[in-house]
Amino acid sequence: MMNYNKYKIGYYMPPVNEMRWAKKDHIEKAPIWCSVDLRDGNQALIVPMSLEEKLEFFQFLVKIGFKEIEIGFPAASETEYEFLRTLIEKNMIPDDVTIQVLTQSREHIIKKTFEALQGIKKAIVHLYNSTSVAQREQVFRKPKEEIIEIAEFGAQMFNKYKAAHPETEYTFEYSPESFTGTEPEFALEICNRVIDIWKPTPDNKVIINLPATVSMSMPHVYAAQIEYMSDNLHNRENVIVSLHPHNDRGTGVADAEMGLLAGADRIEGTLFGNGERTGNVDIITVAMNMFSQGVDPKLDFSDMPSIVETYEKVTRMTVGYRQPYSGKLVFAAFSGSHQDAIAKGMHYREERNEPYWTVPYLPIDPSDVGRVYETDVIRINSQSGKGGVAHLLEQNFGYKLPDSMREEVGYLMKHVSDEGHKELTPEEVHEIFSREYVNRFTHMEVVKSTFKQANGITAKIQVSIDGNHYESTSSGNGRLDAVSNALKQCEDLDYNISAYTQHAMEHGSDSRACSYVNIVTSDGKNFWGVGMHPDIITASINALTSAINRMKAAE
């Protein structure tokens, strides 16, 4: 990796660096969101969207709650021109939604852009030209003043064509493209020249968009640049400062968040961060980060699975399993310690009716984004522990395992998962648990039992042992103890009952009873059994015989 010598810092710190934003600890309100999925996102696809897919995706973005949507470059592409005209002519743009179109600072392109907007009620028209040192020196080979002239010419043309179409409500936007590689003083000068031409008012604000066209610095540097621009733009009260972060350094979300703290009002980005190279800022992550801190993001991500499904269908892209908030595994806990903490946190929440979400390892409630807690959170594999397995059995199937039984059941599931080299579904866990513990009559089964009470409890039982039928009578200090003593008379059994618990599986008079019995042999071995039956006594007998049968199977 000695080639690091050919790289150098290509960004510029502003001449004034107050860093007031660094004293803020969270974003207090949602910015104006602008989806650029249909422009930046679409141009980055291996197979760009068809007209039908674009129309579907546009309606999908409207449904999520976007009020500003960039739909393309109508003067440069026949497909994007047709898309824009379809939206206008079929009256598909809601009154509270503004579409945004892009144009270079060239008169014939600007003219065609305004012609393409004919008949629209309102629109954002976005002018850009590149301003960075690298672009000025290598691409345009022009001095600063000529780069400014390009921007000023475009701004003047905007005024001209706006005056020719007074029936439309236009908002103008300007981007010094490649802003992050531009000297801040020069970026400020060119933006102010454009602002002075457009002369924004409270009723007709302009947007100054400061893109990280290529992410070049750590996020705090970008934030310092944004703060400098925000502090020094002309007519600032009538200017909307917008950010357009890309993700080349993997810091698109951090750039957006720190930029908002530094004074920005608006974010341009895409769902799941789709875009050229490493993509644009992921609006979902920025919005959900706000949501997780009690701030209304003003976008609806309450059905994340359907959002993922629609996105993957129209873009042919795949949402990663670990994509924040939306990936299939982002809420999954395989680790035993994590599962145990989550399970205890959920019980704590239920016991105390906790108003705020504070469950360990889960930054938000999965159900808030349409995820199913029972199947998406506690996941069972060879890394899982007793707490996770017990919680899954309780949440999905109603079993409340005694604490002293949980470790044994947990190790059983770990063993099965390890042997099969696979994750176990909740249904598989339930099937293994039922087969191993519940109403297990492989060797012995109590067919009938009757009881008399006189100086203790006397039990008379009919029992089947390996197909042979026996009757036995014995006494004990309770029904289960009496049955246990009667069973010992039928067969040479050496154990003591060490634990017995029970609970109802459902609510109501017709609910089933579930009993758990642990027996301990003379050499200290433990065997658990679980019994299920509408009658609580029968359930406890079934649990005892299940434990005995597991003991016999182990001999």
Domain boundaries, the chain: 21-315, 336-434, 444-554
In this model, does residue 32 exceed pLDDT 80? yes
Of the pLDDT bands very low, low, confident and very high (cuts 50, 70, 90), residue 509 is low
Give the residue among 384, 390, 380, 386 at the shortest CA–CA distance from 347.
Answer: 390
pTM comes to 0.84
Give the pLDDT mean for 196-213. Answer: 97
Per-residue burial over 48-63, b if 16 or more Cβ lie within 10 Å, else e, is bbeeebbbebbebbbe
Of the pLDDT bands very low, low, confident and very high (cuts 50, 70, 90), residue 433 is very high
DSSP-derived 3-state class of residue 431: helix
Residue 536: what pLDDT?
93
Question: What value does the mean pLDDT of the chain take?
Answer: 94
Give the pLDDT mean for 218-236. Answer: 98
Give the residue among 107, 105, 38, 46 at the shortest CA–CA distance from 77.
Answer: 38
Find the radius of gyration of the CA atoms of the chain.
Answer: 34
97-150 pLDDT, tens digit each: 999 999 999 999 999 999 999 999 999 999 999 999 999 999 999 999 999 999
Of the pLDDT bands very low, low, confident and very high (cuts 50, 70, 90), residue 207 is very high
CA distance 541 to 530: 9
Of the pLDDT bands very low, low, confident and very high (cuts 50, 70, 90), residue 46 is very high
- DSSP E strands: which ranges in 8-120? 32-35, 68-72, 98-104
Residue 131: what pLDDT?
97
Give the pLDDT mean for 214-236. Answer: 97
CA distance 536 to 480: 11
Output DSSP code: residue 282. B
CATH number for domain 21-315, candidates 3.20.20.70, 3.40.50.620, 3.30.300.180, 3.40.50.11900: 3.20.20.70
Is beta strand 513-521 parallel, antiparallel or unpaired with respect to 68-72? unpaired
Q: What is the CATH number of domain 444-554?
A: 3.30.160.270
Any idea which of 75-84, 104-113, 503-512 has the lowest mean pLDDT? 503-512
Q: What are all long-range contacts of 394-402, with beta carbons under 8 Å and residues at least 24 apart?
A: 396/426, 396/430, 397/426, 397/430, 398/505, 398/506, 398/514, 399/433, 399/514, 399/530, 400/503, 400/514, 401/516, 402/499, 402/501, 402/516, 402/518
336-377 pLDDT, tens digit each: 788 888 888 988 998 998 899 999 999 999 999 999 876 777
174-197 pLDDT, tens digit each: 999 999 999 999 999 999 999 999
Give strand pairing partners of 499.
518
459-481 pLDDT, tens digit each: 999 999 999 999 999 999 999 99
Residue 528: what pLDDT?
97
382-410 pLDDT, tens digit each: 777 777 888 889 988 999 999 999 999 99
Residue 418: what pLDDT?
87
Highest mean pLDDT among 153-157, 411-415, 468-472, 474-478: 153-157
275-307 pLDDT, tens digit each: 999 999 999 999 999 999 999 999 999 999 999
Residue 225: what pLDDT?
98
**Strand order from edge to edge, sheet including 468-476:** 444-453, 457-465, 468-476
**DSSP per residue over 224-242, as a string?**
HHHHHHHHH-TTGGGEEEE
